Amino acid sequence: MPPLPELPFERFLTYAEVSEFVQALAAACPDWVRLSSLGRSREGRELHLLTITDPATGPAEDKPGYLIHGNIHAAELSGTHAALHTARRLAESKPALLADVAFHIVPRLNPDGAEFVVATSGVTRSRTDRSERLPNTLYQEDVNGDGLILTMRQEHPAGTFARDPEEPRLLVRRTAATPPPYYRTFPEGLVHAWDGGEAIATEGRSFDWNRNWSYDWRPEPEQGGAGDFPFSEPEMRAIAEFIHARGNLFAVLGYHNGPNGVLRPPSTGSDGDLDGGDLAVLQELAEIGAEHTGFPVVPVVKYHVKRLGVKDCNLRGHFHNFGYHHLGLFVFEFELGNLLNSAGVSTDEMFGTQNDQEYEALYRRLLHWWDKQDAATRDPVFHAWTPCDHPQLGRVEIGGWLNRHLCGPTLADLSRIAEGTYQFTLLHAARRPRVEVEELAVEEVGGGVYRIRARIANRGCFPTHVSNKGRGLRRLQPVAVDFLPAPGVRLLSLNGHRQIGHLAGVVGSSHQEWFVRRDAGAGDTLCELLVRGGAGGTCRTSVRMPG
């Protein structure tokens, strides 16, 4: 068997490198790790899916499932590394938990957008829409042939930026008191069908796939980035179909980049909109995540209020409300941090910035921190402004921040963070519901008639409906027991199919009894009991003759 592949925390991975890694992981651990695909991206790339479980204890499909997805946002590349780190650690250490949990890991939900960012460092939230090129609109291109898409700045009397007097490499917002020269800025690129006018739009209808979930979806412009309809994006539809085909999913975790934080529901309104008991569990689990990463815990709705500095920032069609209100699960996102975090700026400091000047001061700090890194090994985060004769705009300078590196922590920091989120995942997954058949007893009562008794119990921590919210949802079906007689065996009791309802965590159980008549000459097996429903997994137990 080949050895487990190493996950390099030195560079971002291209689609080809992600593909190579997941193939190598599955090849190194073929019984435990299965590689498949959720479907294909809009541009035809596979949406890799790793399924990891202990093969000795039954198929993954029968076990309570934990889904992890990363890199839904194109530039948030850290999520791919974090998800692959968890996959590798599970394959390497084979924790006992894998006996009754299946992990489903989608390291890169947005391979097209990520490929654009990995290859060029261009800017896109989820995807750019170039199906119809609009006139007087700038489309990102590598204009000066250095392989990167950076920022173009150009002296212009109407420019809204000026050189930072304290740090001339940076630009600051122009104020009434700012002396010239002034600059206008664009992403590096070319203007399509330019009429030579001053008004130049920038490409991109800003699709945001994390506003494309079905729960409480709202059309644009009510919710920016929402897309045309819920799950309008093929990648989102693929993950939705995966989720809905698996009633036994009990947890979903998403990886993002932004000021570091453990994000929990709700995405709209306030904590009061959640069931009180569920809120306590969400907070408790999020605090475990905080303990293992050093990140603050933030409800999503507050995170965005703070980040954007606005009063109302309800996020519609967002993952957290979908996960809690629609799936009935305790769902989380890790914001794995950004480069400011690595430079020593805390999430609270970022949230605390009140105006452009304070914000600009953070970037001054970032640049000075970067200057002090070892020049031989530091990431190429900032590029000096270099003159370029733009074929349309004339004299410009190209340089500035490298978007793909700005979005995440340093890869060295990320390796430590990814281990913390892995530890969180193990502790979260340890709470799974776990339905078992116990106290199985078969007794002959005479004349070829047998009595079968069994206790159907949930010995996991979560109830089979996971959250209180989940109890009422159609998706999380109550637990049912099917009695499947063997050839030559007849069920004498009523109800071969029994609904026993949801089972509480740890102590939830239901004692069941059946009578059967076995024909002379029938085999040793009397029946199979099939227990399913809720998120506790599917349990198949063969019942044999006594003795």
**CB contact at 8 A, 117 and 148:** no
Is cis: bond before 463, omega within 30 of 0? no
CA quadruple 186, 187, 189, 194: dihedral sign? negative
Residue 211 contacts Zn ion per CB under 5 A: no
Report the residue number, 109 or 286, with the smaller CB distance to Zn ion.
109
Say how far apart CA 439 and CA 437 lie, in whole Å. 7
Is cis: bond before 221, omega within 30 of 0? yes
Report the residue number, 110 or 512, with the smaller CB distance to Zn ion.
110
Per rule CB under 5 A, count of chain residues that contact Zn ion: 3
Which region holds residue 265: left if phi is over 0, alpha if psi is between -120 and 50, else beta? Answer: beta
Q: How many CB atoms lie within 10 A of CB 19?
A: 17
Find residue 294's DSSP bridge partners: none
In angstroms, what is the minimal distance from the CB of 255 to Zn ion?
Answer: 8
Residue type, 98: L
Site string for Zn ion, 337-366 (x = CB under 5 A): ------------------------------
Residue 307 contacts Zn ion per CB under 5 A: no
Report the residue number, 109 or 535, with the smaller CB distance to Zn ion.
109
Report the residue number, 239 or 539, with the smaller CB distance to Zn ion.
239
Say how far apart CA 514 and CA 449 lie, in whole Å. 10
Q: How many CB atoms lie within 10 A of CB 260?
A: 25
At 141, list the tokens: 């291109």
Tell me which residues in 13-52 interact with Zn ion (CB under 5 A): none
Report the residue number, 76 or 100, with the smaller CB distance to Zn ion.
76
Say how far apart CA 7 and CA 228 lie, in whole Å. 37
Report the residue number, 73 or 390, with the smaller CB distance to Zn ion.
73
In angstroms, what is the minimal distance from the CB of 72 to Zn ion?
Answer: 6
In angstroms, what is the minimal distance from the CB of 236 to Zn ion?
Answer: 14
**CB contact at 8 A, 260 and 297:** no
In angstroms, what is the minimal distance from the CB of 76 to Zn ion?
Answer: 5
Report the residue number, 76 or 112, with the smaller CB distance to Zn ion.
76
In angstroms, what is the minimal distance from the CB of 332 to Zn ion?
Answer: 13
Span interacting with Zn ion, options 69-77, 106-114, 439-447, 481-489, rule CB under 5 A: 69-77
* Residue 394 burial (C-beta neighbours within 10 Å; 0-12, 13-18, 19+): exposed
Span interacting with Zn ion, options 63-71, 248-256, 286-294, 484-492, rule CB under 5 A: 248-256
Span interacting with Zn ion, options 235-243, 255-263, 365-373, 386-394, rule CB under 5 A: 255-263
In angstroms, what is the minimal distance from the CB of 73 to Zn ion?
Answer: 4
What distances in angstroms separate CA 109 from CA 103, 263, 362, 400, one per listed residue?
16, 19, 31, 28
For Cα atoms 481, 487, 492, give the angle at the middle one, nearest 5 degrees. 55
Report the residue number, 102 or 252, with the smaller CB distance to Zn ion.
252
Report the residue number, 250 or 319, with the smaller CB distance to Zn ion.
319
In angstroms, what is the minimal distance from the CB of 464 to Zn ion?
Answer: 31
What distances in angstroms separate CA 339 from CA 123, 307, 388, one per listed residue?
16, 15, 28
Tell me which residues in 75-94 interact with Zn ion (CB under 5 A): 76
Span interacting with Zn ion, options 15-23, 68-76, 173-181, 442-450, rule CB under 5 A: 68-76
**CB contact at 8 A, 284 and 462:** no
Span interacting with Zn ion, options 13-21, 106-114, 147-155, 256-264, rule CB under 5 A: 256-264
- Which of 190, 147, 145 minimizes the C-alpha distance to 393? 190
Span interacting with Zn ion, options 23-31, 71-79, 130-138, 157-165, rule CB under 5 A: 71-79
Report the residue number, 125 or 163, with the smaller CB distance to Zn ion.
125
Say how far apart CA 216 and CA 209 lie, in whole Å. 14
Enter the DSSP assignment of 326: I
In angstroms, what is the minimal distance from the CB of 133 to Zn ion?
Answer: 27
Report the residue number, 73 or 432, with the smaller CB distance to Zn ion.
73
- Which of 98, 108, 109, 86 minimizes the C-alpha distance to 25? 86
Task: Report helix angle 78-93 to 15-28, nearest 10.
Answer: 10
Report the residue number, 73 or 502, with the smaller CB distance to Zn ion.
73
In angstroms, what is the minimal distance from the CB of 41 to Zn ion?
Answer: 17
For Cα atoms 220, 221, 225, give the angle at the middle one, nearest 5 degrees. 55
Residue type, 91: A
In angstroms, what is the minimal distance from the CB of 52 to Zn ion?
Answer: 24
In angstroms, what is the minimal distance from the CB of 329 to Zn ion?
Answer: 19
Report the residue number, 34 or 256, with the smaller CB distance to Zn ion.
256
**CB contact at 8 A, 103 and 125:** no
Task: Report helix angle 78-93 to 411-429, nearest 10.
Answer: 50
In angstroms, what is the minimal distance from the CB of 256 to Zn ion?
Answer: 3
Residue 256 contacts Zn ion per CB under 5 A: yes
CA atoms within 13 A on the CB side of 546: 13
Report the residue number, 73 or 320, with the smaller CB distance to Zn ion.
73
Residue nearest to Zn ion (CB): 256
Q: How many CB atoms lie within 10 A of CB 210?
A: 24
Say how far apart CA 462 and CA 528 lie, in whole Å. 26
Q: Which of 73, 89, 292, 518 binds Zn ion (CB under 5 A)?
A: 73
In angstroms, what is the minimal distance from the CB of 197 to Zn ion?
Answer: 35
Helix, strand, coil % over all residues of the chain, rounded to 5: 30, 30, 45
Span interacting with Zn ion, options 32-40, 66-74, 393-401, 471-479, rule CB under 5 A: 66-74
In angstroms, what is the minimal distance from the CB of 29 to Zn ion?
Answer: 30
Q: Which residues of this protein are in contact with Zn ion, per CB under 5 A? A: 73, 76, 256
